[in-house]
């Protein structure tokens, strides 16, 4: 059907039965299963394998329903395990993007796609650049946030034989920074980072190999909620005398002593983290885009001109016999252009042209060369009033049979014209 069912965005959440949305802190967690974990005995004896839950973050342009749902639709979201670090992740050309720059985010939006987006071969046979920036959860005066330990980029890919692979790259910070906790009090020991940033290129990149990339941000270790509950009951999961203490406290507290040596799931310490939605690389997706919305002096007099280059076209794609749909959208559908099957006719040397105007489309040309394709589209006067006259994110989507491609960038307003800020 032309749809990847595994192309999902990431959000975090809770499974709380107490009606306590956002109750995700490890410190002082009262449980989330009603009467089932209403006391320390029940928390440890019955529900020790549960966790407080996570949080969902959406990067919307404003705090409105339309903007938030637009962010969810384009998957510009990330999940956390319960803390509140701030994370940005972009992929693309990003030639002007530098860590430490005050314009990092704006530059990245202009020349790259944010988390959840799609990339074509924007740098030809070379890897796209990726930038990830993270800032620690500041916390509160009573409960300060935890320093960051490291940032990773996780790559997954499908090889020519159809086998899946995954590899993790440490791109910032230090996994061996020596940070931990005071075993007596659970107070943090050692230092991490308030912020981490990296601009990274994939050393294993292959132009024809589909892949996805997401960022993972790890904080320094802290005590798990169960460790704090056990300690308060006189059973210390970090002590070599844990089993003896549990025998004194009562049978349900035996689970306080579960850990890496005897249980693959439980550990007295945890590393809170965040996971960004992936950026998906597809060799057949949009490699370059040039476009311009020209606003007219009166309603219905706007015009769109666009040139997009596809990195690769499937072998079974036949322009003369396949209809095309080109869509511009932000929090609304700005414009949907349809070129029916048969409307593009051969013009020689791999070129197909629109024989006659269709709706607002006045000119359209599709040129195929070495399995790449360049599509030129120009409209006559039409209504583009849904394209806000302001700098904002716009997604260009192309559909042709089962073929799909998408391109999300920051479009900027210049001299009364709206256009992408970069490729």
Q: What tokens appear for 281 in the block?
A: 């690389």
3-state secondary structure 249-304: HCHHHHHHHCCCCCCCCCCCEECCEEEECCEEECCCCEEEEEEEEECCCCCCCEEE
Judged on CB neighbours under 10 Å (0-12, 13-18, 19+), 52 is buried
- pLDDT (0 to 100) of residue 2: 63
Question: What pLDDT digit, counting tens, does each position of 307-316 carry?
Answer: 999 998 877 7
- pLDDT (0 to 100) of residue 140: 93
- pLDDT (0 to 100) of residue 1: 56
Residues 6+ apart with CB under 8 A from 274: 57, 78, 79, 80, 81, 83, 85, 87, 134, 215, 216, 217
| Residue appearing with tokens 């210049």 | 414
Question: What pLDDT digit, counting tens, does each position of 38-96 carry?
Answer: 899 999 999 999 999 999 999 999 999 999 999 999 999 999 999 999 999 999 999 99
- pLDDT (0 to 100) of residue 423: 66
Taking the complete model, does pTM exceed 0.75, yes or no?
yes
- pLDDT (0 to 100) of residue 102: 96
Domains within the chain, CATH numbers bracketed: 53-224+268-280 (no CATH), 284-420 (2.60.40)
- pLDDT (0 to 100) of residue 296: 96
Residues 6+ apart with CB under 8 A from 282: 118, 119, 120, 210, 311, 405
Contact 265, 49 (CB under 8 A): yes
Across the chain, which has 423 residues, the per-10-residue mean pLDDT values are 81 90 90 88 93 96 93 97 98 96 96 96 97 98 96 95 95 97 96 98 96 99 98 97 97 96 95 98 95 96 97 82 94 95 93 95 94 94 96 95 92 95 74
Beta-strand relationship, 279-281 and 118-119? parallel
Question: DSSP letter at 372?
Answer: E
- pLDDT (0 to 100) of residue 34: 87
């Amino acid at each position: 059907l032309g749809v990847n069912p595994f192309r999902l965005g990431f959000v975090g959440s809770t499974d709380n039965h107490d009606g306590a949305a956002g109750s995700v802190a490890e410190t002082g967690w009262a449980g989330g299963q009603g009467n089932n974990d209403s006391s320390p005995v029940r928390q440890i004896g019955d529900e020790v394998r549960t966790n407080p839950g996570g949080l969902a973050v959406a990067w919307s342009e404003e705090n409105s329903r339309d903007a938030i749902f637009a962010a969810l639709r384009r998957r510009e979201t990330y999940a956390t395990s319960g803390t509140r670090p701030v994370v940005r992740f972009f992929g693309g050309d990003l030639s002007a993007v530098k860590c430490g720059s005050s314009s990092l985010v704006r530059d990245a939006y202009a020349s790259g796609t944010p988390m959840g987006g799609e990339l074509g071969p924007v740098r030809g046979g070379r890897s796209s650049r990726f930038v990830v920036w993270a800032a620690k959860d500041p916390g509160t005066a009573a409960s300060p946030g935890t320093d960051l330990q490291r940032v990773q980029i996780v790559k997954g890919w499908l090889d020519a034989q159809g086998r899946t692979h995954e590899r993790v790259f440490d791109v910032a910070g230090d996994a061996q920074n020596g940070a931990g906790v005071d075993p007596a009090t659970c107070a943090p020991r050692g230092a991490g980072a308030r912020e981490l940033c990296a601009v990274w290129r994939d050393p294993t990149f292959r132009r024809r190999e589909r892949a996805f990339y997401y960022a993972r941000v790890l904080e320094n270790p802290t005590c798990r909620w169960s460790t704090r509950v056990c300690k308060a009951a006189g059973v210390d999961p970090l002590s070599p005398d844990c089993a003896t203490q549990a025998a004194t406290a009562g049978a349900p507290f035996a689970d306080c002593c579960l850990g890496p040596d005897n249980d693959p799931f439980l550990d007295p310490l945890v590393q809170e983290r965040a996971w960004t939605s992936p950026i998906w690389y597809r060799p057949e997706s949009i490699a370059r885009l040039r476009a311009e919305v020209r606003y007219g002096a009166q309603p219905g007099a706007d015009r769109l001109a666009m040139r997009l280059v596809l990195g690769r076209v499937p072998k079974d794609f036949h322009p003369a016999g396949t209809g095309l749909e080109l869509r511009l959208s932000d929090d609304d559908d700005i414009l949907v252009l349809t070129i029916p099957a048969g409307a593009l006719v051969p013009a020689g040397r791999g070129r197909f042209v629109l024989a006659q105007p269709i709706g607002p489309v006045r000119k359209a040309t599709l040129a195929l060369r070495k399995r790449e394709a360049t599509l030129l589209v120009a409209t006559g006067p039409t209504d583009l009033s849904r394209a806000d006259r302001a700098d904002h994110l716009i997604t260009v989507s192309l559909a042709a049979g089962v073929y799909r491609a998408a391109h999300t960038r920051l479009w900027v307003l210049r001299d009364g014209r709206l256009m992408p800020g970069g490729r």
